[in-house]
Amino acid sequence: MSYVFVSLYTVLVIAFGVLPALYALYLSLTTGDGGFAGLSNYVKVISDFRFVPAVVHVAAYLVIWLVALVVLVTVLALVVHAIRVRWLSRALRFVFYLPGALAGASSVLLWLFVLDPTASPVAGLLHLLGFSSFVQVIVPGNLPLIFAIIAFWTGAGGWIVIMYGALNNVSTDIMEAARLDGAGAVQIALRIQLPLLRKWISYMGIMSLAAGSQLFVEPQLLSQASNAVVPNDYSLNQLAYQYAFQQNDFNGSAAISLILLVIALALSAVFVTRGGLFERD
């Protein structure tokens, strides 16, 4: 029976994951006319003056995004779980989850309004930080933090709900025994709840890393809205898009996608091994 449950998923993974990856690998090792190119496409894209800045941009964004996600989501989930007033706990979970109902593009369009000091509801804060125009806010140096804030706003609520559910699975007997031994809320969180959340935190890191490394919609819309103040090759996905649809070089685009895939898999392996995701309790 278990094979029936996983069969459809396996078919979809092969059709929309494995086969496209194999085709991208084929393209990355060939020329436009189908001849064998070896590693020349990889050398070409890595040597491109736009490649290293795109890697730096995505890396800076991922560091801020993942650290904020792991720390703040875990803390907020612990706080919400500690609230004993049921209606308040439910209301907070709903409020946290609500931004995630917006699609990625819609969320960015909303943030275009929020980041404009002339129209933003938080204009006072933006002016206090020294920003008087939209262009000043979205200079490339500010973008990793801005994209991390947008990603946290849209994605953190769902993970808070998931972490809350994981905390509900922690044995109440263990919690009660700790309280009888004199452990406070902080000690229980650090010594009992966090260790038991380790696999869930690892899973959150892997999924968020996979999503974050695909950074495209946010810089692409900001580039169009700012008249190219934000470059249209800011991220690796954007650079791959430029290769494919502006330079008509699908082989180079495939090489970038494979490089991004290898990097994401390597970083995910770190989360899996350090988080003990597949260890049996």
- Per-residue pLDDT, 236: 93
Query: Rounded to whole angstroms, how far apart are CA atoms 204 and 271?
Result: 9
- Return the percentage of the chain with pLDDT > 70, whole number: 95
Q: The pTM is what?
A: 0.87
Tens digit of pLDDT for each residue in 94-114?
888 877 766 666 777 788 888
- Report all structural domains of the chain as residue ranges with CATH numbers, in order of start: 1-38 (no CATH), 48-275 (1.10.3720.10)
Tens digit of pLDDT for each residue in 151-206?
888 888 888 888 888 888 887 888 888 787 777 777 888 788 888 888 888 888 88
